[in-house]
Amino acid sequence: MVLGRIIAVHSYKGGTGKTLLSVNLAATFVKHGKKVCLLDLDFRAPSLSTILKIEKAEHWFNDYLNGTCEIDKALIDLSDGINNDGKLFVGLANPATEAIRDISAKDRKWEMRALGRLLALRNSLLNDKGFDYLIFDTSPGLQYSSINAIVSADLVIVATTFDKSDVDGTRRMLRELYDLFEKKTEIVLNKVLYDVSSKFGKEEVQTRIKDIYQVPILGIIPCFCDVSKAEGNIIFAQERLEHPFTKILDEMAYKIDNNKA
């Protein structure tokens, strides 16, 4: 029996495209007939509720981590209208200022219990409910919630750009965070410019990234004006099936699916 996997999408800096990647990767897996649960662990700057246009939830993912509800109550089923066997569930971080303040003030004991509840999802969602993938959209850098997500994950996808401080920080995190937890890590290089003014073509970019990080590359995403112009209103993997961005996501999902460690 092939068990599902937990994927954490993380980055050193903000604005590298973690949420865009998480949402579109989830949509791609669903398109491929998978049962997926997308969880917002960016409690300091929640954004999934806006992107998925869900204004109110009966229970938030915060409630599950607080121990005030079980996981099935904290999930919203978005499978309506999906034309294949794929299923999509989401657990949202509460975007209310009070909730952000509340979760920012949690102590180490709470974080320890939150880790326990994240680890328990492997049994409750992957083993018992038969999910193929849990995708954690995390906050950037070394935040408690992100490290909890990384510790619980089977695969960490690191979204990065060619920004100098991002490269330095990502390299440090690879050595001092993911390696220490012995995590399988893959890089997604986002917002790459391939125009005539750029010194590098696609192959040079790949070689350069491999040299810098010494970990496998899951994908390279060029800077698409269409994606920026959409302002987060379009889930390309769902609504623009022929777009090159969608094709890249298809390749990434295929790689993950065929690389079950």
Partner 1 sequence: MTKQEVLRKKSVQILEKIRESLEKLNERMEIMIELQKHGRRDVQPLPEAPLDVMTLLSMPDHLRKTAMTVCRLGRATADEVAQQTRRARAVESAYLNQLVIMGHLKKERKGRKAYFYVEKEDQG
Nearest to partner 1 of 55, 182 (CB atom)? 182
Side chain identity at 22, as an amino acid letter? S
Span of 2-10, 92-100, 178-186, 214-222 interacting with partner 1 by CB under 8 A? 178-186
Spatial separation of the C-alpha atoms in residues 232 and 20, rounded to whole Å: 8
Among 54, 165, 168, 181, contact with partner 1 (rule: CB under 8 A): 181
Q: Does 151 bind partner 1 (CB under 8 A)?
A: yes
Rg (C-alpha) for the chain, rounded Å, is: 18
Q: Does 261 bind partner 1 (CB under 8 A)?
A: no
Concatenated DSSP letters of 177-214: IITTTT-EEEEEEEEE--STT-S--HHHHHHHHHHHH-
- Report the nearest approach of partner 1 to the CB of residue 180 (Å): 6
Q: Does 196 bind partner 1 (CB under 8 A)?
A: no
- Report the nearest approach of partner 1 to the CB of residue 125 (Å): 15
Q: Does 144 bind partner 1 (CB under 8 A)?
A: yes
Residues 83-122, interacting with partner 1 (CB under 8 A): 108-109, 111-113, 115-116, 119
| Site size with partner 1, rule: CB under 8 A | 19
Are 184 and 156 spatial neighbours (Cβ–Cβ below 8 Å)?
A: yes
Strand boundaries in the chain, DSSP class E? 5-10, 35-41, 76-77, 87-91, 133-138, 155-160, 184-192, 217-222
Spatial separation of the C-alpha atoms in residues 253 and 122, rounded to whole Å: 20
Q: Does 124 bind partner 1 (CB under 8 A)?
A: no
Q: Does 232 bind partner 1 (CB under 8 A)?
A: no
Summarize as ranges the residues that interact with partner 1 (CB under 8 A). 66-68, 108-109, 111-113, 115-116, 119, 144, 147-148, 151, 177, 180-182
